[in-house]
Amino acid sequence: MAKYFIPLLMLLNIFWAPLTAQVSEIDSLEQVLISFTGDSEAKGNLLIELSNVYKNTDTAKMRSYIDDALILAQKEGLKNLEKRAYMSFGNYYWRSAEYFLAYINYKNAEKICIELNDIEYLARVYYNMLRVFNIIMDAENMVNYANKFLETGAKLYDLTTLLPHDTTNIVEDDPIPGWLFWADYLKRLALIDNELSLERLIFHQEMLETPMFSHPKLLEMKKLLIFECGLINISLKKPRESLKYFQISQELCEQYAHLGTTRFLTLLNISFAEAHSLLQQIDSAIYYLDKTDKVLPYVDHQIMSALYSAQIELETAKGDYKKAYEISQKYYHFADSIQTAQKSEDMARMKNWLELEQKDIENAILQEEKIIQQKLLKLLSISLLCIFALLPFSFFYYRKIIKKKNELNSMHTFKDKLFSIVSNDLRAPIHSLAVTLKLANSMGINAKNRAKILKNVSTNVDNTYGLIENLLIWAKSQMHATIAKSEHVNIQTEINFILDDLSNFAEEKNIFIENNIGNYTIDTDKEMFKIILRNLIFNALKYTHPYGKIIINSELDDHHLIISVSDTGIGMSPEIQGKLFHLSETKGELGTNSERGTGLGLVLCAELIKKIGGKIWFESKMGEGSIFYISLRRK
């Protein structure tokens, strides 16, 4: 959540137009509208201007004027006006935090811009889409629309002069050059995986050294980048360095009053307190925390997280470990509730995205059917001879329709499977967790049984977390064309990390794992490789009886690396083997200790191995065990 907070604040503070709607301006425009005698397009543009004037004062009137403009544009066939109306609707929903509806309206504006070849307006549309995905923290789409915006901007400007960040390129009447710089920044930020890492610190320091930040319009961005540098230094346990950055942020707020918002100063004081606590400067830490009491009504999720963290560090510095522990428990409960809410938002967004893609396919099918009907009617009016001559042509289009309908049916199958997993396979383990935790908190449970229960909870949490991770990764792969990134990967190192992660599960079932992986390095996508191997090893653990054995081997030739994961588990029947990599047919089987499964993990392995140019196959005998193989190119 912290990863995208700073870019979000920058967007809100730098490029959001200030409150300019004055009563006299509104009265003037409405008087002009009442007595207006010009053409329809001019009237529509006046309606759009009125909607913009009301955006900060009356959102109901804002929407009403946009509605009038869109109806007029569609009635008169005015594409330029329709484009502006969809853009205004997108901005309306963006301001209302209804980001999915904002995205749909921006997509409608995009289609018209492409139809009209309006490059400049298309650039503005792509920039707004970038803002949407920045807010909902979708890094992949941030990179996608940043690239589209930069590609479109390259047709309007010379990027070799803009992206070095020349301050003369930011002007009031043309914001696109400044946006291009901003899009380049967001794209590179989205590609940095760690939320608070040394890599991000170096990146922000490099950005602060560019001449661009000497421009007055970018003071807010500069303040926030400096502040995040301080936060990263705290996470790296370098409180003295963090205090330097916090001090600079405070000086900027004192020098420029508009930068010192109540919310930011609250975060700054909490961060000062945490840094002083790490330095054992208890009086200073208490001083800064006391300053936050006056503004606590302004709290939000980020402020609460920062406040808990600072209080934990302060109590630790005082030596009051009991109180620090109590605060940490409150913090973990708070963090869990936030994470649960975030997961719910992610699932709702995935559902909306799937429905939008289905709607696009349905519209494409209807459009093609309409075109076919028009062409056939025209040809029928000529002669029967033309009809017979054009039968192959009609057959070709018929096959395309069948193909589109099959794609739509396939998407319905995927959606049904997705929500089946969410409603059935996630409900049971989460309910089990809730019951187990209530039992663990019962006063009648002794310490030994409580430890045993908590160990079971830990295993159950790991299993459920793995299922959710697989679910999210698979759903994302269905909605977007996930692109593999090639990098040097040490196979032995990554598998050791996976085995460490699964060690508790193996120990609980007393399963011996023989790791015979060699010290090889290949070029592939590290994250996809880890997901594939983790699922194969986890499945072997799940379907192997206690006191069983798992063997991980590797073979290397001139062109390929072959990795195998074999187990002494329950094996698979021929019927199960035939459905293993097909989502619509696969069914989750219980493990040897009644561990739940969905069959999604192996489907995900099959999809990801294709993306990184590899192969997957297996051998299995009922009651004797299974061997799964993956083959990857060395280069």
Residues of the chain with pLDDT under 50: 1-5, 8-9, 11-22, 164-165, 167-169, 171, 423-424
pLDDT of residue 9: 47
Give the CA distances from residue 73 to residues 49, 69, 82, 103, 585, in Å, rounded to whole numbers and listed in that order: 15, 6, 5, 20, 48
Report whether 151 contacts 135 (CB < 8 A).
Answer: no
Give backbone dihedrals phi and psi of 631, rounded to 5 degrees, phi first.
-125, 130
Give backbone dihedrals phi and psi of 37, rounded to 5 degrees, phi first.
-125, 10
Nearest to 553 by CA among 634, 635, 628: 628
Nearest to 536 by CA among 471, 617, 429, 595: 617
- Tokens representing 179 are 């946006």
Measured between alpha carbons, how far is 555 from 520 in angstroms, rounded to an integer?
A: 10
Q: Which residues contact 8 (CB under 8 A, 6 or more apart)?
A: 134, 135
- Tokens representing 426 are 């996630």
pLDDT of residue 606: 84
Measured between alpha carbons, how far is 94 from 128 in angstroms, rounded to an integer?
A: 9
Q: How wide is the angle at C-alpha 148 spanned by C-alphas 146 and 150, nearest 5°?
A: 65
pTM of the model: 0.43
Q: Which residues contact 246 (CB under 8 A, 6 or more apart)?
A: 227, 230, 268, 271, 272, 275
HSE-up of 294 (CA within 13 Å, CB side)? 7
The greatest distance separating any two alpha carbons of the chain, rounded to the nearest whole angstrom, comes to 96
pLDDT of residue 355: 63
Count CB neighbours of 550 within 10 A. 22
Report whether 212 contacts 165 (CB < 8 A).
Answer: yes
Nearest to 104 by CA among 339, 357, 300, 310: 357
Angle of helix 600-611 relative to helix 526-542, nearest 10 degrees, comes to 150
Measured between alpha carbons, how far is 596 from 616 in angstroms, rounded to an integer?
A: 23
Q: Which residues contact 271 (CB under 8 A, 6 or more apart)?
A: 227, 230, 231, 234, 242, 246, 306, 310
pLDDT of residue 22: 43
Report whether 108 contacts 124 (CB < 8 A).
Answer: no
Cα dihedral 501, 506, 511, 516, rounded to 10, equals 0
- Tokens representing 453 are 């229960």
pLDDT of residue 543: 87
pLDDT of residue 247: 93
pLDDT of residue 364: 61
HSE-up of 25 (CA within 13 Å, CB side)? 12
* Dihedral sign for Cα atoms in the order 353, 426, 541, 516: positive
pLDDT of residue 563: 92
Cα dihedral 59, 62, 64, 69, rounded to 10, equals -160
In the chain, what percentage of residues exceed pLDDT 90?
A: 12
Alpha helices in 426-501 (DSSP H): 427-440, 447-479, 491-501
